[in-house]
């Protein structure tokens, strides 16, 4: 079974407060782009095995795909396993949710491969045990997320821009970013929500383009701040860091400008382009 696991960007990201359970309440809009890992999943009698073309990827129980297999088979009470090969196209530690998307792709694939019926609510609950954003990747729509990122309101959201993604060769630890933000910034509820309860209006996208992690990440990694500035200088109507970094994306009205911007960054960064109104298929 061959499946794609798409990356996401955050259209806005606000960190509201630290919770008693150690997590943070956040507010964001998840949106997929045309960048994906490629997974080849085959059944096995019991064993779980992971391989990858990227040597930085763990191939043991620390891999989220391994956890997906382990948790789901325990949930449905079977002993079957899976062999998974990951072709990693999504940069690691770039705020794009690659590992979470991979795990969700495995969860979506296993019931069919094992020929078992699994309720959507069971898949979602299993996904949440793996990570706060994994339930989002079970679906192919954009979503407003709050709580610790697990409370999802799925929305129809088409972005009429060319999305240029730039990922410098910098790995940002999400745990580090949260610690730094908590130490430097008073966390509080923002006056206005990113989502109005009815629709995500593209006309107001400028109001979404804020990421509470940018200040601490830009101070520690000036290259990422410079990437955002250069995207704007290259003609991006809007630019923002995704997640806790290190990737930054720019929204371009004009395809030619978008492609020129990609060439500016290509020599020493990972670059990716998503066409306007892109909708992924699962």
Catalytic residue positions, numbered: 8, 133
Q: What is the CA radius of gyration of the chain?
A: 19
Which of 242, 219, 281 is closest to 10 using CA atoms?
242
Do 250 and 163 contact (CB within 8 A), yes or no?
yes
Torsion of CA 105, 9, 244, 99, to 10 degrees: 10
Residue 52, strand partner residues? 86
Strand ranges (E), the chain: 2-18, 24-44, 48-52, 81-87, 142-146, 151-155, 162-168, 238-241, 248-252, 269-274
Which structure tokens are listed for 266? 């290509």
CB count within 10 Å of CB 195 equals 20
Do 234 and 264 contact (CB within 8 A), yes or no?
yes
Which of 245, 239, 187, 249 is closest to 220 using CA atoms?
245
């Amino acid at each position: 079974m061959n499946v794609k696991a798409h990356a996401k960007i955050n259209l806005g990201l606000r960190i509201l407060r630290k919770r008693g359970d150690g997590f943070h309440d956040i507010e964001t809009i998840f949106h997929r782009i045309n960048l994906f890992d490629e997974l080849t999943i085959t059944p096995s009698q019991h064993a779980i095995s992971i391989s990858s073309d990227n040597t930085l990827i763990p191939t043991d129980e620390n891999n989220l795909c391994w956890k997906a297999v382990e948790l789901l088979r325990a949930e449905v009470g079977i002993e079957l396993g899976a062999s998974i090969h990951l072709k990693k196209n999504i940069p690691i530690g770039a705020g794009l949710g690659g590992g979470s998307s991979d795990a969700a792709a495995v969860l979506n694939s296993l019931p069919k491969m094992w020929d078992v019926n699994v309720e959507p609510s069971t898949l979602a609950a299993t996904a949440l045990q793996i990570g706060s954003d994994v339930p989002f990747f079970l679906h192919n729509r954009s979503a407003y997320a709050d709580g610790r990122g697990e409370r999802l309101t799925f929305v129809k959201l088409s972005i009429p821009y060319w999305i240029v993604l730039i990922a410098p060769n910098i790995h940002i630890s999400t745990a580090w970013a949260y610690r730094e933000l908590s130490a430097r910034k008073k966390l509080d509820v923002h006056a206005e929500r990113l989502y109005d309860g009815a629709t995500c209006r593209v006309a107001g996208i400028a109001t979404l383009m804020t990421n509470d992690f940018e200040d601490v990440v830009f101070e520690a990694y000036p290259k990422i701040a410079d990437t955002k500035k250069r995207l704007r200088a290259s003609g991006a109507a809007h630019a923002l860091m995704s997640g806790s970094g290190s990737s930054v994306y720019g929204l371009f009205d004009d395809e030619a400008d978008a492609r020129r911007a990609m060439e500016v960054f290509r020599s020493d960064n990972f670059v990716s382009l998503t066409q306007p109104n892109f909708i992924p298929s699962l």
